[in-house]
Amino acid sequence: MSRIASTFARLRAAGRTGLIPFITVGYPELDTAMELVPAMVRAGADLLELGIPFSDPLADGATVQHSSHQALRNGVTVRHCLDTARRLRARVDAPLIFMGYYNPLLAFGLDRFAAEAAAAGADGLIVPDVPPVESDDLLAACRRHGLDLIFMVAPTSTEADIEEVARRASGFIYCLAVIGVTGARDSLSDELAGFIARVRARTDLPLAIGLGVSRAEHVARIGELAEAAVVGSALINRIDAAPPDRRVEEVESFIAGLRPAPALRTTD
């Protein structure tokens, strides 16, 4: 069983909603992740998304774009992201999932990236700008090296889209809570339950809901529908607002403040 699958199995056995924070590698400083990722795990994070910065992150809103651009100015490369994962794996047991755009991975080499990511201790990969029907090469590389390729679905996804994702995905499926780019929001969509029911009908994989998640009540609502919540922009905002010497404390406080979440949805 993969590290991602075993984590979701433990969450289900405990009746607990998973928490998946996202940070951009190399932001605000080159090695900030080495302090913040262990802090998030201590505070209750179950899986971690590590963003690979890219010059044109079209699926991301202003907050994540800002973090990505700053990381690039700090000199972050795909190689640095792989090295960061390797160093983090020596310090945390939680699954590490890279989130990055296709062009940097293609330039690095898809098979080379998958092999080195797995060797570094990464467990999965999210590539938001690769449609499932165009993912054959990437999926093959991930499968060769034991990485879960995690696909996204949105409220606008057709039934055929969802079925294609369900056929190819492993680990979990990332469900976008709203239509649009990343960014903290005040509330989740009233139509979220219907969308999640459409996805649930086509897969037995765990579902994680992200985009706009920023509060404990959001995580509580997500826990009624899915197995995990993803939080990114709100976390980056918290990092931005913290003095450098208080970042670890502020991040731990923010992640801990998203708990407790209600029991996971159960099926008969």
Q: Which amino acid is at 232?
A: G
Instruction: Count other Cβ atoms within 10 Å, centred on residue 51.
Output: 28
Q: In what order do the strands lie in the sheet with 228-231?
A: 148-150, 124-126, 96-99, 48-51, 18-24, 228-231, 207-210, 173-176, 152-153
> Residue range 28-55: average pLDDT?
96
The count of domains in the chain is 1
Higher-confidence residue of 263 and 65: namely 65
DSSP at 93: -
What mean pLDDT is reported for the chain?
91
184 pLDDT more than 50: no
DSSP assignments along 130-170, one per residue: S-GGG-HHHHHHHHHTTPEEEPEE-TT--HHHHHHHHHH--
CB-based burial of residue 89 (10 Å sphere; 0-12 exposed, 13-18 middle, 19+ buried)?
Answer: middle
183 pLDDT more than 50: no
| Strand 207-210 to 48-51 pairing | unpaired
Instruction: Give the range among 88-92, 129-133, 194-198, 210-214 with minimum mean pLDDT.
Output: 210-214
Q: Is residue 266 part of a domain?
A: no
The β-bridge partners of 230 are 20
What is the model's pLDDT at position 260? 54
What is the model's pLDDT at position 265? 53
For residue range 77-101, list pLDDT tens digits in order.
999 999 999 999 999 999 999 999 9
What is the model's pLDDT at position 180? 46
261 pLDDT more than 90: no
> Which structure tokens are listed for 248?
């670890």
Q: Is residue 264 part of a domain?
A: no
Domain hosting residue 38, numbered range: 3-256
CATH of the domain at 131: 3.20.20.70
pLDDT band at 213 (very low <50, low <70, confident <90, very high): confident
Of 121, 113, 124, give the one whose Cα is nearest residue 92: 121
Catalytic residues: 49, 60
Give the end-to-end CA distance of the chain in Å, rounded to a whole number: 23
DSSP at 28: S
> Residue range 190-205: average pLDDT?
93
175 pLDDT more than 60: yes
Instruction: Give the range among 60-69, 152-161, 215-224, 237-246 with minimum mean pLDDT.
Output: 60-69
What is the model's pLDDT at position 55? 87
The number of helix segments (H) and strand segments (E) in the chain equals 12, 9
Higher-confidence residue of 40 and 183: namely 40
For residue range 136-148, list pLDDT tens digits in order.
999 999 999 999 9
Q: Is residue 268 part of a domain?
A: no
Of 264, 251, 262, 253, give the one whose Cα is nearest residue 22: 251
